[in-house]
Amino acid sequence: MGITKTDFMRGMQCPKMLWLDKHKPRLRVIPPEVQQRLDAGNDFGDRAMGMFGPFEEMTVFRPGTRIPDKKAMAEKTAEHLLLGTPVIAEAAFLYYNNYCAVDILRKTGTGYDMYEVKNSGGVHPQFVRDAGFQQYIVSRAGVKLERIFIVLPGGEGEEPFVPHEITKEAKALSGWVNDHIWTLNRMQKEKEEPAICPGEQCSSPYECWYAAYCRGEKSAEEPSSLPLIPEEKES
Residue 9 engages ligand SF4 in binding (rule: CB under 6 A): no
Number of residues this chain uses to bind ligand SF4 (CB under 6 A): 12
Residue 16 engages ligand SF4 in binding (rule: CB under 6 A): yes
Dist CA 12 CA 69 (whole Å): 25
Q: What type of residue is 3?
A: I
Residue 30 engages ligand SF4 in binding (rule: CB under 6 A): no
Residue 38 engages ligand SF4 in binding (rule: CB under 6 A): no
Q: Applying CB under 6 A, which of residues 74, 89, 210, 233 lies at the interface with ligand SF4?
A: 210
Residue 202 engages ligand SF4 in binding (rule: CB under 6 A): yes
Do 126 and 118 form a contact (C-beta atoms < 8 A)?
A: no
Residue 34 engages ligand SF4 in binding (rule: CB under 6 A): no
Dist CA 133 CA 216 (whole Å): 33
For residues 159-198, which are near ligand SF4 according to CB under 6 A? 196, 198
Which residue stretch of 67-75, 94-102, 204-212, 218-226 sits at the interface with ligand SF4 (rule: CB under 6 A)? 204-212
Q: Which is nearer to ligand SF4, 158 or 193 (CB)?
A: 193
**If 0-12 CB within 10 Å is exposed, 13-18 middle and 19+ buried, where does residue 201 land?**
middle
Q: Which is nearer to ligand SF4, 17 or 100 (CB)?
A: 17
Q: What type of residue is 144?
A: K
Do 91 and 115 form a contact (C-beta atoms < 8 A)?
A: no
**If 0-12 CB within 10 Å is exposed, 13-18 middle and 19+ buried, where does residue 34 land?**
middle
Dist CA 17 CA 22 (whole Å): 9
Q: Applying CB under 6 A, which of residues 38, 187, 211, 226 lies at the interface with ligand SF4?
A: 211
Residue 28 engages ligand SF4 in binding (rule: CB under 6 A): no
Give residues with Cβ within 8 angstroms of 206, minimum separation 6: 13, 126, 232
Binding residues for ligand SF4 (CB under 6 A): 14, 16-17, 20, 196, 198, 201-202, 208, 210-211, 214
